[in-house]
Amino acid sequence: WNEQMYDLADRNTAAFESGKLENEIKTVLQKYDFDGVFFDYEFPLRNKDWKAFDKFIIGLDDFLGDDYLIGMSMVGWNLKQSKEAMESTDMFEVMSYDLWDDDGNHATTQIAKDDIKQFVEKGYDKAKLDLGVPFYARPTTEEAYWYDYKAYYDKMSDDGLYQDAETGLTFSFNTYDVIKEKTQYALENGLGGMMIWHYACDVPADNENSLFGAIDSAKQEFIKSNN
- Predicted confidence band at 14 (pLDDT cuts at 50, 70, 90)? very high
Residues 6+ apart with CB under 8 A from 64: 22, 25, 26, 29, 36, 37, 70
Give the strand pairing for 129-134 and 136-139.
unpaired
pLDDT score, position 37: 98
Please give the pLDDT value at position 134. Answer: 98
57-113 pLDDT, tens digit each: 999 999 999 999 999 999 999 999 999 999 999 999 999 999 999 999 999 999 999
Q: How far is residue 93's CA from residue 74's CA, in Å, rounded to a whole number?
A: 6
Q: 3-state DSSP: the chain helix, strand, coil percent, rounded to 5?
A: 45, 15, 35
pLDDT digits (tens, 9 = 90+) for 150-192: 999 999 999 999 999 999 999 999 999 999 999 999 999 999 9
Q: Is the pLDDT of residue 227 over 90?
A: no
pTM recorded for the entire structure? 0.94
- Residue 42, pLDDT above cutoff 90: no
Please tell me the total number of residues recorded for the chain in this structure.
227
